[in-house]
A and B are shown apart, each in its own frame.
Chain A
C-alpha cells in the first residue's frame, strides 16, 4: 500500500495557504470598499454636491488600486488545484464546475464591464447610469464571492451530490442543495459582512490619519460617519452570522468546534472559554481562564443543557450520545474503499451481480469513506491550539470593532472626533487588526477542518498529485516573491495616493 508523502502534503498545503492568505489581503477590501463607494456615489447623485463627488472619486481611486493589484490572484489557486491537487480536482470537478462557471460568466463579466464605466464615466455617461455602474460593480464583486464560497462550503458540508463509482467523480443531484446549504449561506454572509468591516476600517483608518494630521477635516469626518454606520451594521452582522456558523459547525463538523473551543471531554452545560490559555493536557483541565457557564451548549445547540462533543468523544466514541469511535469509522472507510476496488474489478470482469453487491456495500459505508485512508485515529484531530487561539483572537477583535464603530458613530454625531486623539490613533491601527481578524477567520475555517479537503470523504493526503517535493517548494517560493512584490506595490501606490489626498487626485484609472 502506498503511504501519503507527508512532506509533499505539507508543502502543498503550505503553498495553498500562502496563496489563499495573500489573495485574501485584496479581496475583502474590494468587497467592502465597493459598497462604500456606491453609497457615496448615490449621495452625490441625489444631492449634486461637489464634495460628495470628490469623496466618491477619492475612495474609488483607492478601490481601483486594490482591485488592479488583486485581480486574478485567485486564479493561482485554480492552477494549484489542477497541478498539486489533481485527485481532489477530479473528484470534485463536476461540483465546482457549475458555481465557478457562473462566477466566471455572470459575476466577473458584470464586475469587469461596469468597472470601466465606473472609472471612465465621469461626464461621459448619464449621472444615473454612472451611479448604477458603481452599484453593479459592488454587486458583481460580491456575486463572485458567493460562488467561490458556495464551492468552499460544499467541501465542508458535501450535500446535493452523489459519488459515481464508475468515474470516481461527485455528480450534482441538486444544484439548490449545493448552493443553498446552511453552510454556504452562513459562510457567505459571515465572510462578506467581515469584508464590509475591512472596507469600513480602511476608510476610517485613512480618515483618522487625516484628522491626526489636521488635513481634509470635513472630508475625513464625513467619511468616518459613512464608514462607522456601514461598519457598525456589518460588525453586528458578523457577530450574528458567526454565531450561526458556529451552530452549523457543531452539527456538520463537531471536531472543528471541539478544536475551536479546546474542548477535549464532551459535556452537558458546556462552558465557553471566554479568555485564557490552553496547556498541553488532553482533557478539560487544559484551560486556565474565564469561562461563560453553559454558553458553548447554547451556541452549539441553542440549549444550555445540550451535550457538546469533545475531541476525546469523537476519537473514542460516546455510545450514549450516538458518536461512533473513529476506529470504527476507519474500518467502515476501509470497507468502502475495498468495495470500490472490488466493484471496479467486477465491472471489468462483467460480473453484474457482484458489482451490484459491492455497490450496495460502498453506499452503506460511503459516509465514512475518507476515514479508510488513516492509519492512526489521532490523524483526524486538527491543530487544536492554533484553531483555538485563531478563533478566540478573531472573536475578540470582532467585539472590539463593534465598540469602535459605535464610539466613532457617536463621536461623529457629537462632532467630538478630534478631541480623542488616542481613539484616532487606535482607529489607524484597527485596519491592521481587521486584516489579522480576517486572516484568522480563514485559519479557523481551514485549519479547523483538517485533515479533510472534503469533510469525511477525502483527506488531504489522498487528494494530492504524485509530484516531487522540490517542484512544490520551487513554486512556493516563486509565489512568495510574486505576491510580496504585488503587496509592496499596492501599499506603496496606495500610501502615495493617500498622502496626496482627495482634492489633488483624479479617479481615472
Chain B
C-alpha cells in the first residue's frame, strides 16, 4: 500500500508538472500572437481589415441572403432530397 501511495504521488506530481508546462505553453503561444499583432505595421493592419470585411461580406451577407443551400431550404431529409434530384434527372431528359 505505501508503495502504491508513493506511485500515486509521483503520478500526481507529474500531472501537476504537465498541467503547468501546458499552461506555460498556451501562455507562450498567446503572447506570441499578441505581440505579433501588436507590432504589426499599418499595411499589415490594413490587410487584416480587408480580410475581416471580405469574410463578413462573404459569410454574413452573400451566404445568408444570396446563397442558401437549395436542397436544404426545400427539404428536411436526405430521402426527400434524393427523390427530388431523381425526379429532376428523369424529367430533364
A residues neighboring B (CB under 8 Å) = 1-4, 64-65, 68-69, 71-72, 75-76, 79-80, 82-84, 86-87, 89-91, 116, 119-120, 124-125, 166-169, 333-334, 337-338, 340-341, 344, 372-373, 461-462, 465-467, 471, 474-475, 478, 482, 486, 489, 493, 496-497, 505-506, 508-509
Contacts and interface: CB of A to CB of B under 8 A. Distances in A.
29 contacts: A1-B93, A72-B58, A82-B70, A86-B70, A90-B71, A116-B32, A116-B36, A119-B36, A120-B32, A120-B35, A120-B36, A124-B36, A125-B32, A166-B82, A168-B85, A333-B93, A337-B89, A337-B90, A344-B90, A462-B89, A465-B70, A466-B70, A475-B62, A475-B66, A475-B67, A482-B57, A489-B50, A508-B41, A509-B48
Contacts of A496: 43
Contact of B66 (A72, A116, A166, A474): A474
B86 interface: yes
A467 B89 CA distance: 16
Contacts of B54: 69, 72, 482, 486
B39 interface: yes
Nearest to A120: B36
Given A2-B92, A72-B58, A482-B57, A79 B50 contact: no
A135 B30 CA distance: 23
Contacts, number: 127
A508 B36 contact: yes
Contacts of B40: 508-509
A86 B92 contact: no
B47 interface: yes
Interface in B53-93: 54-55, 57-58, 62-63, 66-72, 78, 81-82, 85-86, 88-93
Q: In this complex, which of A75, A120, A337, A505 has the most chain B Cβ atoms within 10 angstroms of its Cβ?
A: A120
Given A76-B62, A91-B85, A338-B93, 6 more contacts: A69-B50, A79-B58, A83-B68, A471-B66, A475-B67, A478-B62
A102 B76 CA distance: 27
Contacts of B89: 87, 168, 337, 340, 462
B86 A344 contact: yes
Contacts of B70: 82-84, 86, 465-467
B67 A1 contact: no
Contact of B58 (A64, A76, A116, A489): A76
Chain B interface bracket (under 10, 10 to 19, 20 to 34, 35 or more): 35 or more
A462 B51 CA distance: 36
Nearest to B88: A87
Q: In this complex, which of B35, B36, B57, B72 has the most chain A Cβ atoms within 10 angstroms of its Cβ?
A: B36
A80 B67 contact: yes
A211 to B, nearest CB: 25
Contacts of B82: 90, 166-169
Contacts of B68: 82-83
Contacts of B88: 87, 462, 466
Contacts of A465: 70
A337 B92 CA distance: 10
B15 interface: no
Contact of B47 (A1, A69, A76, A338): A69
B68 to A, nearest CB: 7
Contacts of B41: 505-506, 508
Contacts of B92: 1-4, 373, 461-462
Contacts of A82: 67-72
A338 B91 CA distance: 10
B67 A2 contact: no
Given A482-B57, A508-B39, A373 B51 contact: no
